[in-house]
Amino acid sequence: MSLKVYISGRLVDKEDAKISVFDHGLLYGDGVFEGLRSYNGRVFELDEHLDRLWESARAIHLQIPGTKAEMAAAVEETLQANQLRDAYIRLVITRGRGTLGLDPNRCSDPQVIIITDKIALYPPENYEQGLELVTAATIRNHPAALSPRIKSLNYLNNIMAKIEGLRAGCVEALMLNHKGEVAECTGDNIFVVRRGTLMTPPIDAGILEGITRNVVLRLAREAQIPVAEVPFTRHDIFVAEECFLTGSAAEVIPVVKLDGRPIGEGVPGPITGRLIQAFRRCVQGD
């Protein structure tokens, strides 16, 4: 059975899932997207993802066709058509077909695309042994140029940093902001444990407000772990006891090295381990 993809109200075979070459999503990266997970047939943090999608669209002056409830129903329909209970879900809203000029007002038909598939996480050994990161020379987009809070189809900033990471043999790379502070990774938020406090950069460090990030902050507070959303630099990672990343695809994954330097004991730490366990229980709805 071929995978079904939802495009603007229709479920079509993967091979037939096509949009116009005049769509500004393709021509200019003009559009927004979301990446979600379903566990055991339940979409995790669905309302939060839909809120962020609507806010991203609002920020780029794009009207998403239909309501959040209709989008939620379309996600459900696509998962069922593909008989998927544990899946990665990609929602994409493009500006729609336009002319070769930039003018978004000349695009008439924003496309709603829903792709569901089995998830390919990082290999299991990365979760057991932890990841190694390098710092990318490419800084995160300046918020005054393009806010990192918008999850737009224009991901070249992150891709440039990802290329740097891959060329250094790392699957993720650390990105700093224009002030030289730690921002986030190319597709994940970052946390450190420093003097017993769990620290993560604040939103105004110029990051995507990750939904996994917010869940982990909540789980940490529930577990009485001191938390702080404060700016910090690479120094704080070098001297941290622990480090980990969060994201819908990656979930919670330990980091054990930055730029060739071991973090803490150079192995995944105990607070990271506790939060991984708490996160697993949370996604299963316990």
Q: Which residues are catalytic?
A: 151
Non-local (6+) Cβ contacts of 147 within 8 A are 59, 141, 206
- Name the minimum Å distance from CB 21 to ligand PMP: 26
For ligand PMP, the closer CB: 2 or 284 = 284
What is the rounded distance in angstroms from the CA atom of residue 275 to the CA atom of residue 213?
A: 11
State the minimum distance, in angstroms, from the CB of residue 267 to ligand PMP: 24
Closest CA to 90 of 33, 6, 16, 169: 33
**For residue 2, what are the contacts with CB-CB under 8 A and spacing of at least 6?**
13, 14, 15
Rounded Cα distance, 6 and 9, in Å = 7
Measured from the CB atom, the residue of 74 and 216 that comes closer to ligand PMP is 216
Measured from the CB of residue 211, what is the shortest distance to ligand PMP in angstroms?
Answer: 4
The residues pairing with 35 across neighbouring beta strands, listed in sequence order, are: 90
DSSP letter assigned to residue 277: H
Tell me the closest approach of the beta carbon of residue 208 to ligand PMP, in angstroms: 4
Q: How far apart are CA 184 and CA 246, in angstroms?
A: 10
| DSSP, res 2 | P
Closer residue to ligand PMP, CB minimum distance, 165 or 210 = 210
**Residue number with CB closer to ligand PMP (208 or 219):** 208
**Tokens (6 digits) for 123:** 């290999």
Least distance to ligand PMP from the beta carbon of 122, Å? 13
The tokens 């209970």 sit on which residue? 85
Comparing CB distances to ligand PMP, the nearer of 51 and 128 is: 51
For ligand PMP, the binding residues (CB under 6 A) are: 35, 158, 184, 187-189, 208, 210-213, 246-248
Confirm if 8 and 111 have CB atoms less than 8 A apart.
Answer: yes
Helix (H) and strand (E) counts in the chain: 8, 15
Residue 96 or 210 with smaller CB distance to ligand PMP? 210
Least distance from ligand PMP to the Cβ atom of residue 12, Å:
25
Q: Which residue in 35, 38, 36, 28 sits closest to 60, CA to CA? A: 28
